[in-house]
Structure 1
Amino acid sequence: MRPEHDGLTRLPERPWRDDDGIAPVTLVDPADADPAQLRKRLGDMRALLVISLLMTESVNEDQIFSLATSSALGLGGCRIDGYHFTDGTWRPGTGCLAATRELTGQVALLDGGGPIELAGRTWAWAYPLRSASELLGHVIASSDAEPSGDERFLLQVLAQQTAVAVSNARLHAKECASAAQLAETNEALADTVASLRRSMQIHERLTRVAVSGDGQQGIADALHELTGMPVAMEDRYGNLTAWSGPGRPDPYPKESFATREQLLRRLMRAGKPLRDGHRLTMLASPRPDVLGVLALVDPERRADSADLVALEHGTTVLSMELARLRGIADTELRLRRDLVHDLLTGTDTDSAHARADALDYDLRRPHRVVLIEGKGRSRRPDALLEAVRRALRSAELDALDETRSGSVVVVTAGQTNWDRLRRDVLSNLGGGQCQIGVGGIRVDPTELPGSLREARLALRLQKTLLSSDSVCEYSKLGVFRILATVPDLDELEVFVREWLGCLLDYDALRGSELVHTLTQYLEHGGNYDATAAELSVHRSTLKYRLQRIRELTGLELNDPDVHFNLQLATRTWGTLQALRSQT
């Protein structure tokens, strides 16, 4: 049953204590109530409701506090001096009241809300800003006269509504932040998924190339397909080995030796893609002596992270391909070296032909042996061998080769400009020295040891008697060939001692080089300047040595007969030196 109405108008019962700032609520008989007072109370409640609605709809803390501050005077005739929060921060309200240590201490001692003391204020109160879950802080209100119970009630409700609105606004801000973070996370996750999908496509495409055995051109085509950029593949020397895409340069540009070595060192130190002008480059190096360079031509610098992944994975596949090719090449080279070794030490014809056929090399042609010695800037032990092989390829010479005691022995059926070959070897070495001795032609492979002896003799004679950095062909040695075939070397020794004995003894005793000086003087036709340049001595030093030779031998060097016999003696001496070095 509904309770019987007793005819009295009751205000809601207070859930607050007296020390919250609320005066006891009195029951008013409608017949005794002042109509103006009732209208005022109704107006205050309506205003408070409007303010509550505005606060509830707002998600801006500044706006909520501004509404609370501006409405306090109208509701309770009090001013809001500021807001003191539990984290120690202060928000000013009406006026310029600042948070002092004394005010903070007073608020800290309160259990909820309560009276406080403010300088110049008759009445001041701290109303709690309490949400459903926590205390946010306090509203600091003051007045020049103590407000009525109804006014204090309105201030308390205003503070409570302010706390609820601020709590909702903060919750809304937190939800917005969470939503933004979630959206950002989803976007990052989508990017990650797209990146992983692209990486898987790159991996699958290049793995198919590696398995199919399409070689370097297949790798370049796949990388061009994945990136949309032209792709260049080069060996360690800058020679183009594969190209895919438009704009292939013709002729293909090639860097200098020093520039190329500098780029390779940069790539080796970095271990990742590096920009080299308009290209993104990366080094493929499955082993120290095997190098390749993979490049994306990107003049507009539009390569993204996926393109870098494709370049890195393509470089890995290229390294595998280079290792495979090098393994095949090493096996073939080992077989070729074994064949060269047996040809130079002696083997039967049928076995030599069979092994050459297995290597797809035609050994049934006449061959000769070429011996090459040299030293360049590189300290790598195989630098000379690589330089010789590149020079042979440039000269289009089909050949077998191996290294022996720091020299390179070449067995070839071709004929070329040997001095041009020597210059190419020097260029590939990056400068330095290079000497070449060329043996005679042999029809049967069992005769190649003889051609090797001739090449050694030519190289030795070149070092002893001829220009120290040139080519010496055995077939063009003239009298040296005759001297080298004399069976009785003792007769040659007697002849040399007859004409050069005193000079040889003097050189042995004093450590001088009179015999060598005389040899070069006679080989250069008595030309002082050419002889001095070859010996790297001053012209006056050469004249002194020649005068000393005249004094020791008692011979006139300008006499034709003496000149002939001395030159024959020096050539015989050089031949004997070369022959002795072979034993």
Structure 2
Amino acid sequence: MGDQHDIHDDSEHYLDGFTRTLAEVSATGRRLTREELKARRTLGEQAADAGHGLRALVVAHLAATRAAWPAGPGSAESSLATLAAVEQAIDAFAEGYERAQRLTVRREEAARREFIDDLLYGRSDLGRLAERAERFGLRLSRAHAVAVAEGPSVYVEGGPVARRVEAAVLARFDSRSILLTTKNGRLICVAPGDEDEILLYFAKHAYAATGAAGAALRVAIGRPQHGAGGVVQSYEEALAALEMAARLDLAGPVLRASDLLVYPVLARDRQALVDLVSHTLGPLTKARGGAVPLLDTLGAYFDSGCVAAEAARRLSLSVRALTYRLERIHQLTGADPSDPTHRYMLQTAVIGARLLNWPNRPL
């Protein structure tokens, strides 16, 4: 009731000059002037900025029309002119109202995008960033984790995939603690660090929304990190995990930065990695057909948990053919893939070869 009273109290302001114009139109049959239409648009903008609902204001215009309608019989031309003036006035008022709303939405979108950029890049004062975060449902005093989905095509804010994923996640979980957005063509979900199920649900629906192209989608999750700078750290970990997965051709569906910590450690000392790959796997280049088939064999063997039958299936080989390849690797390198004492060195060298893109790129 209070809102209705407020609108009623303010209606005289938003109806300023309306009834006087109707009286002139009824008497002369003229149309509204350019200045009168401009005034109606301005009043519509002011009403939107003040937070009033358009429906109630249109009703107020119609009520004023009824009250100002000329008494007694009148010509049809006069009535039609009055109705046309009412239509013009309300249309101009609604145009101004909607224009103000669009400007407000654009300002909100710009503020949200600026906040997201500052949040993911850590470019803003952390204290100020925490204050702004509350407006968008995040309490940066707690730990947060970030999931990043990278697909075969670019994801855009408001696009069909982004809308479907956001609708699914927000329908299931509390929207006040989740931020869903896009950045550099990727889908991003920021969630409380102790609610891992949100990020897994996000990943599930990112695959579902991507459709047939979902096989080319990768989703990486950074580790939960505390504080305003924690979102940046988790986001960067997720990006690094995606980059590492692309280099190593790691399969999903979900890649966790915490599970990939060994790879940055290996890549940190490039010269040591080059020496390991060259010394351990270099002899494979002497094999008929080069090193690639035997390197793929080692990769499949280790990825399958050193189960020969599973590795053979992945390579579309017979178990006998796979066993022959493993024996050939032993002959060339002096290291036996089935021997636990040699396995770690070979597996680490295989990972190093992937990181260095060897033998496609010379060491």
Distance 1:360 1:400, change over 3 A: closer
Tell me the distance in 1 between the aligned counterparts of 2:280 and 2:145.
Answer: 36
Tell me the distance in 1 between the aligned counterparts of 2:232 and 2:286.
Answer: 38
Q: What code does the residue aligned with 1:408 have?
A: L
Structure-2-length-normalised TM-score: 0.56
Q: Which residue of 1 aligns with 2:209?
A: 428
Tell me the distance in 1 between the aligned counterparts of 2:221 and 2:102.
Answer: 30
Distance 1:474 1:526, change over 3 A: same
Tell me the distance in 1 between the aligned counterparts of 2:106 and 2:210.
Answer: 22
Q: What code does the residue aligned with 1:454 have?
A: E
Deviations 1:106-157 (A, max 9, x none): xxxxxxxxxxxxxxxxxxxxxxxxxxxxxxxxxxxxxxxxxxxxxxxxxxxx
C-alpha displacement of 1:522? 0.7
Query: Equivalent residue of 1:408, what SS?
Result: strand
Q: Where does the alignment leave 5 or more consecutive residues of structure 1 unmatched?
A: 1-208, 215-320, 578-583
C-alpha displacement of 1:490? 2.5
Tell me the distance in 1 between the aligned counterparts of 2:98 and 2:354.
Answer: 48
Of the candidates 274, 277, 287, which is equivalent to residue 496 of structure 1? Answer: 277
C-alpha displacement of 1:544? 6.4
Tell me the distance in 1 between the aligned counterparts of 2:158 and 2:318.
Answer: 39
Deviations 1:449-489 (A, max 9, x none): 432332123234444557523111122346446546x5x33
Of the candidates 123, 128, 142, which is equivalent to residue 351 of structure 1? Answer: 128
Q: Which residue of 2 aligns with 1:340?
A: 116
Q: Which residue of 2 aligns with 1:560?
A: 340
8 Å contact kept, 1:462–1:470: no
C-alpha displacement of 1:211? 2.1
C-alpha displacement of 1:551? 4.9
Deviations 1:412-458 (A, max 9, x none): 32422344432222223334233211112222323544323321232
C-alpha displacement of 1:562? 1.2
8 Å contact kept, 1:343–1:448: yes
C-alpha displacement of 1:344? 2.5
Residue 212 of structure 1 pairs with residue 47 of structure 2: no
- Percent sequence identity over matched residues? 26
C-alpha displacement of 1:558? 1.0
Tell me the distance in 2 between the aligned counterparts of 1:463 and 1:445.
Answer: 29
C-alpha displacement of 1:359? 3.6
C-alpha displacement of 1:567? 1.5
Q: What code does the residue aligned with 2:173 have?
A: E
C-alpha displacement of 1:404? 3.7
Q: What code does the residue aligned with 1:409 have?
A: I
Q: Would you tell me which structure has more helix in proportion to its own residues?
A: 2
8 Å contact kept, 2:148–2:188: yes
Tell me the distance in 1 between the aligned counterparts of 2:134 and 2:259.
Answer: 32
8 Å contact kept, 1:337–1:401: no
8 Å contact kept, 1:528–1:539: no
Of the candidates 325, 334, 349, which is equivalent to residue 569 of structure 1? Answer: 349
Of the candidates 167, 170, 178, which is equivalent to residue 393 of structure 1? Answer: 170
Tell me the distance in 2 between the aligned counterparts of 1:369 and 1:479.
Answer: 20
C-alpha displacement of 1:525? 1.3
Matching of residues 39-78 of structure 1 within 5 Å: none
Q: Which residue of 1 aligns with 2:147?
A: 370
Tell me the distance in 2 between the aligned counterparts of 1:327 and 1:529.
Answer: 64
Tell me the distance in 2 between the aligned counterparts of 1:451 and 1:441.
Answer: 6
Q: Which residue of 2 aligns with 1:439?
A: 222
Relative contact order, higher structure (CA 8 A, sep 6+): 2
Structure-1-length-normalised TM-score: 0.37
8 Å contact kept, 2:143–2:230: no
8 Å contact kept, 1:387–1:429: no
Q: Which residue of 1 aligns with 2:45?
A: none
Of the candidates 303, 310, 316, which is equivalent to residue 523 of structure 1? Answer: 303
Tell me the distance in 1 between the aligned counterparts of 2:312 and 2:156.
Answer: 32
8 Å contact kept, 2:302–2:347: yes
Tell me the distance in 2 between the aligned counterparts of 1:322 and 1:506.
Answer: 74
Q: Where does the alignment leave 5 or more consecutive residues of structure 2 unmatched?
A: 1-51, 58-96, 358-363
Query: Equivalent residue of 2:140, what SS?
Result: coil
Tell me the distance in 2 between the aligned counterparts of 1:501 and 1:395.
Answer: 53
C-alpha displacement of 1:497? 2.7
Tell me the distance in 2 between the aligned counterparts of 1:452 and 1:499.
Answer: 35
8 Å contact kept, 1:367–1:445: no
Tell me the distance in 2 between the aligned counterparts of 1:544 and 1:380.
Answer: 52
Distance 1:406 1:358, change over 3 A: closer
Q: What code does the residue aligned with 1:390 have?
A: A
Matching of residues 6-21 of structure 1 within 5 Å: none
8 Å contact kept, 2:248–2:354: yes
Deviations 1:478-537 (A, max 9, x none): 6446546x5x3332332233323344x679x969454344223212112244335555x3
8 Å contact kept, 2:335–2:346: no
Q: Would you tell me which structure has more strand in proportion to its own residues?
A: 1
Query: Equivalent residue of 2:255, what SS?
Result: strand
8 Å contact kept, 1:332–1:359: no
Tell me the distance in 2 between the aligned counterparts of 1:492 and 1:213.
Answer: 72
Query: Equivalent residue of 2:229, what SS?
Result: helix
8 Å contact kept, 1:344–1:452: yes
8 Å contact kept, 2:156–2:185: no
8 Å contact kept, 1:440–1:475: yes
8 Å contact kept, 2:219–2:242: yes
Q: Which residue of 2 aligns with 1:455?
A: 238
Tell me the distance in 1 between the aligned counterparts of 2:325 and 2:102.
Answer: 56
Distance 1:498 1:454, change over 3 A: farther
C-alpha displacement of 1:349? 0.4
8 Å contact kept, 1:464–1:574: yes
Query: Equivalent residue of 1:500, what SS?
Result: helix
